[in-house]
Structure 1
């Protein structure tokens, strides 16, 4: 989404068109994401969001009722994007030749790319799960019914095809992949001081290579490891 500058006078008479509705709502969500790069949710004000979006702050009440509902809309938008991305991964796995391409690499590279694209929203979600909030409830409910469910299907299919071990648990495997890959997003700011890694594409690719090797050693049948 791209932030747009709106003239508050445009809303002076009548209800705005559906297209304008969507543009303004998207601009407010986009502005919120932008602000989350620099400050936690609790420090972001309605006035700041409206200023970045280029609209009157009354528009937040018009479209979302309040700031909390705006954050709920942001999380819902993020989870839908993640769900779509995971479905694309699933389709990629369905079409590949398992003798020629490594599905573990496709899974890991695709998820890291998706998480990196939505890093701000993911950090918000992971922070919010500590609290008993509507955001936590939405995250838990939607995570189970969207990306995680798709990844479980992918793992289950690879088990059925014999590419992964027959005793591999799709639930624990999905949990392990999700937790490990989230860490790249969460620990971006401590990679260099704590581990001596410079954040960037080269480090990410080395970590992908490392994870693919580690996961494949654990996921693949012993007889297949020599291939």
Structure 2
């Protein structure tokens, strides 16, 4: 019996290579994230990523254009994941100091899980080129910073003028974990390695949290 138009398969999107319909952008991104836990960004290739994801490399190029496009999407994905985790952590009950420690510790742990995240964020978000969508479209750093400041604002009492500029607190919450994660030789020189070093880092996180707590909610009579 001849095939009618009703029986004909739906046409694929223009340019999309033949591949499993269950495989998409998310799988390729997830596999790239996994590879970046054991390889540097410079070591990755489209061919290796495609093999890891079990797809044709043409599918990777279809979705992301090239390796740089894929790394940008991966970085944006990781940043969203990190900010989602921080927001959820701050919605949990706890004192201000506990919330500050949780946010610092969460970012430090995230960077241990994703050792190249800071470098990727610098290249693909902080120094990302201007958007092609138009001059009025927010840049990656503007989008990420806007949400980051919203999360930082959750640490401040509502309806009360802040005792310290929230941007100062935001910079410390980003800067301390970023420096610690990229300056391991210095950290090891100061604190050594092993369980004792972990104890010292926990004490340092508590120290930073106490300093920030004193600035966000200063004791009465301190002015």
User: Common fold, TM-score beyond 0.5?
Assistant: yes
Aligned to 2:220, which of 206, 218, 223? 223
User: Which position in structure 1 is the counterpart of 2:67?
Assistant: 67
1:82 deviates by: 2.2
1:29 deviates by: 1.8
1:32, 1:14 → 2: CA distance? 21
Mapping for residues 1-227 of structure 1, pairs under 5 Å: 16-17=20-21, 20-22=22-24, 25-92=25-92, 96=93, 101-118=94-111, 119=114, 120-128=116-124, 131=127, 133=129, 139-151=140-152, 153-157=153-157, 160=160, 166-188=162-184, 190-192=186-188, 194-198=189-193, 201-223=198-220
TM-score (norm 2): 0.69
Unmatched runs of 5 consecutive residues or more in structure 2:
1-15, 132-137
1:138 deviates by: 5.2
2:157, 2:122 → 1: CA distance? 28
- Report which of the two structures shows the higher radius of gyration computed on alpha carbons: 2
Unmatched runs of 5 consecutive residues or more in structure 1:
1-11
Q: Is the 8 A contact 1:89 1:106 kept in 2?
A: yes
1:209, 1:203 → 2: CA distance? 10
TM-score (norm 1): 0.68
Q: CA 1:46 to 1:141, structure 2 compared with 1: closer, same or farther past 3 Å?
A: same
1:60 deviates by: 0.9
Q: CA 1:67 to 1:73, structure 2 compared with 1: closer, same or farther past 3 Å?
A: same
Count of residues in correspondence between the two structures? 196
- State the Cα deviation string for residues 136-185 of structure 1 (Å, max 9, x = none): x854122123223321x22333682xxxx953111222122221122232
Describe the SS at the equivalent of 1:146.
helix
1:45, 1:13 → 2: CA distance? 19
2:48, 2:18 → 1: CA distance? 26
